[in-house]
Amino acid sequence: MAQRDYYEVLGVSKSATADEIKSAYRKLAMKYHPDRNPDDANAETLFKEAAQAYDVLSDPNKRARYDQYGEAGLGGQSYGNYTNVNDIFSAFGDIFGQSMFGDMFGGGQRSRGPRSRKEPGADLRVRLGLTLEEIATGVDKTIKIRHYRTCSTCSGSGAGSDSGYATCTACSGTGEVRQVSRSVFGQFINIAPCAQCSGSGEILRDRCKSCEGEGRIEGESSVKVTIPAGVRTGNYLSVTGKGHAGRRGGEAGDAIVVMEEIEHELFERHEDDVIMHMTIDVPTASLGGTVTVPTLEGEAELDVEPGTQPGSTLRLKSKGIPHLNSRGRGDQLIEINVHIPTKLTSDERKVMESLRNAKNFTPPDQRTSSGFFSKVKEAFS
C-alpha cells in the first residue's frame, strides 16, 4: 500500500507525541471515510493509507524500528491486513469512542431486543425484638410480615386470560423504536425503548381483576428464621425470596430481618459480658457465704468472700453471651451492694450497740490514715 513516509501521511513531525498521532489519524479518518465520500474512488485508498501509518506509529516498538530502518525494518509487517474498511473499524474503532464508526457512519446502536415485562420486587426490612435470654441460647422465630404477594388468580402474570397480552403495534414487538437522522457527518440512528409498552414488546389487553394487572396483591405471610446465639442490635439475616413479589411475575425480593435487643430488667449487656447489681446482707458481706444468683440460663451459686466491700465486682465465668460464630462466651459480672437496715428491733439494736466500739467494726480515721493525704493529692493533681 502506502509508499509515502508515514509521518508525511499523517501530517505530523517525527517528534510527534502519541496523542498528536492519534489526533491526526482521527482527522484523516473522518475526512476520507468512504461513507462521507461515496463518489470519490480515491478516498478509500487514502483512508487505508492513514490506517497503515497509524498502525506503525502508534506502536512504540514498530515506530522505533521504522525510525531506524524505515519500512524495511518492519520485516514485511508494517501494517495489518487491512484489505477492507471493516478491518480498520475492528482494529481502531475504540480510539474514536463508541460512536465514531457506529452511529456516525450508519452503524447505529445495536438492538437489545424487547425487555422482560417482569419487574423484580423490592427487599423488605423487618425488625425483630429479642430478649437477652433468647440471644444467649439462640432461638427459632416465626414472624408475620405484610408485603406484596404473587396474585394467585393469574399466577403473577397480571393477565386475565391466556391471551391477555398482545404484540405492541408501536414497535411491532421489538420493544424499541428507531429514529434516523442525517447530517454532514453521515447517518445517525437513535434507538430508545418503546414508550407504549415500556420496552417489553407486549401490551396487556386483558387485566386480571384480582390484581388489576400488577401480578401481585397486598397480603400477610409468615416467615421462619433461626437466630444464632450471640447476635446483637444491628445484626441481620437475609431470607431469600420473602420480600415483595415482583410485578407481573418478577422475582421476589428478600426479607431483611434486623435484630434489636429488648432492654432487660436485671441485666445490662457490655460486649459479650452481662452485668447485674446485687444487694447482700451485712453478715454475709462480713463473714462470707454462698448466695443464689439469677443468670440468663437459670440460677447459679456465687461464693462471697469474707470482708466483701460495697462496690466490689464478683464474676461468674462463662455465664454471659456466647461469642457469635466462634467458641466461648462472656462472663456475668455482679456488682455488690450491702443492705443497711433502716429499722431495728430492740434485740437487733443491742447486737449493733455491742459492735459499735468493737475493734474490727471501727473504720480507720481518714485524717490519720496513711493513704489519706495521698488520696487528697491525687484528687487535686
Question: pLDDT tens digits for 104-163?
Answer: 444 444 556 677 778 888 999 999 999 999 999 999 999 999 999 999 999 988 888 888
DSSP 250-261: PPP--EEEEEEE
Give this prediction's pTM.
0.57
DSSP 200: S
pLDDT at 287 over 50: yes
Residue 319 near residue 331, CB atoms below 8 Å: yes
What mean pLDDT comes out for the span 214-231?
92
pLDDT at 374 over 80: no
Q: Dihedral (C-alpha) 138, 140, 144, 147: value to the nearest 10 degrees?
A: 80
More confident residue, 267 or 367: 267
Q: Residue 359: pLDDT band by 50, 70, 90 thresholds?
A: confident
What mean pLDDT comes out for the span 312-323?
93
Looking at 81-90, 140-149, 229-238, which range is the least confident one?
Answer: 81-90
Q: Residue 378: pLDDT band by 50, 70, 90 thresholds?
A: low
Distance CA(28)–CA(30), nearest Å, equals 5
At 208, phi and psi to the nearest 5?
Answer: -65, 130
The model's pLDDT over 163-173, given as tens digits with 9 standing for 90+, comes to 889 898 888 88
What is the pLDDT, as a whole number, of residue 254? 92
